[in-house]
Amino acid sequence: MKLARLFILFGVLIASQQALADDDSRRCHWWQFGHCGVEGRPHDAPNADTLITIDVATNKIYLFQDGELVDQSSVATGSEKILRKGKRVWVFHTPRGRMKVLRKVKDPVWRKPDWAYIEEGKPIPPPDSPSRDIKGHLGKYALDLGGGILIHGTDEAHSIGRRVSHGCVRVPNDMLETVWKATKVGTDVYIFESAYTKTSMSERHSDLDF
């Protein structure tokens, strides 16, 4: 009789441990996306209001409303390339983490930074040169995440789906308009990597050299 009770208690203990393990496996974090949870929405992300998530490993953007997927699309993200010119160094990296939309910009103008001229092998003009202002390069809309990082459009459609940007997230025009209309200043943005790769980050620069 005592032996039977021990077997029963042992069985209950094993079942309880399995239940805890199953529950823990469902507790995903934003940096673990791709291994658990709802596709595109990390477990730690809010279920209310508008949410933008971006996976730099798959180059995809997701738009959620109250926990439900509204739309998704391929995007372009940072190339992770390093550019050196004398003592100056640029690392073209898309940062990971939880951010917020700080500003919404309509018809953004790209102020061409020094590194763009260096890449083209052209002389660098004075900082206040009108030749630096390029209209249309960033599409019709831009969402400012701070630190020089934007979610914006592009006139280089062939770059979508690849790691080729200088840090910003380039979005196709139709998806960009959808995201623009759905978001407001303060909207949460999660940028993560479902398959971690080691990168070098001594500096961070984007398509806008603020």
Report whether pLDDT(126) > 90: yes
Q: Which of 78-92, 131-145, 189-203 has the lowest mean pLDDT?
A: 189-203
Does residue 21 fall inside a structural domain?
yes
Does residue 134 fall inside a structural domain?
yes
205 is catalytic: no
Q: What is the largest CA-CA distance in the chain?
A: 91
Q: What is the CATH number of the domain that holds 28?
A: 2.40.440.10
Please tell me which residue in 28, 93, 168, 205 is annotated as part of the active site. 168
Residue among 79, 73, 115, 78 nearest 210 (CA)? 115
Report whether pLDDT(155) > 70: yes
Please tell me which residue in 93, 152, 166, 205 is annotated as part of the active site. 152
Q: State residue 125's pLDDT score.
A: 96
Band (22; pLDDT cuts 50, 70, 90)? very low
Distance CA 23, CA 5 (A): 27
Q: State residue 150's pLDDT score.
A: 97
Report whether pLDDT(163) > 90: yes
- The DSSP output letter for 123 is P
Q: State residue 109's pLDDT score.
A: 96
Domain of 42, in residue numbers: 2-192
pLDDT in tens, 40-96: 777 777 788 999 999 998 999 999 999 999 999 999 999 999 999 999 999 999 999
pLDDT in tens, 164-194: 999 999 999 999 999 999 999 999 999 988 7
152 is catalytic: yes
Band (1; pLDDT cuts 50, 70, 90)? low
* Number of residues assigned to the chain: 210
Burial of 93 (0-12, 13-18, 19+ CB in 10 A): buried
Q: State residue 45's pLDDT score.
A: 77
Mean per-residue pLDDT over the chain, rounded: 82
Does residue 205 fall inside a structural domain?
no
Does residue 206 fall inside a structural domain?
no
Distance CA 68, CA 7 (A): 45
Helix boundaries (H) for the chain: 2-25, 114-120, 173-182
Report whether pLDDT(209) > 50: no
Q: Spell 32-55 as b/e; 16+ CB within 10 A means b.
A: bbbeebbebbbeebeeeebbbbbb
Q: What is the tally of structural domains in the chain?
A: 1
Does residue 197 fall inside a structural domain?
no
Does residue 202 fall inside a structural domain?
no
Parallel/antiparallel/unpaired status of strands 188-192 and 97-100? antiparallel
| C-beta pairs of 64-67 under 8 Å, 24+ apart in sequence | 64/40, 65/182, 67/41
Does residue 208 fall inside a structural domain?
no
Report whether pLDDT(34) > 70: no
Residue among 76, 74, 72 nearest 38 (CA)? 72
Q: State residue 42's pLDDT score.
A: 75
Please state the pTM of the whole predicted model: 0.76
Burial of 208 (0-12, 13-18, 19+ CB in 10 A): buried
Is residue 151 within 8 Å of 52, Cβ to Cβ? yes
Q: State residue 8's pLDDT score.
A: 53
Does residue 204 fall inside a structural domain?
no
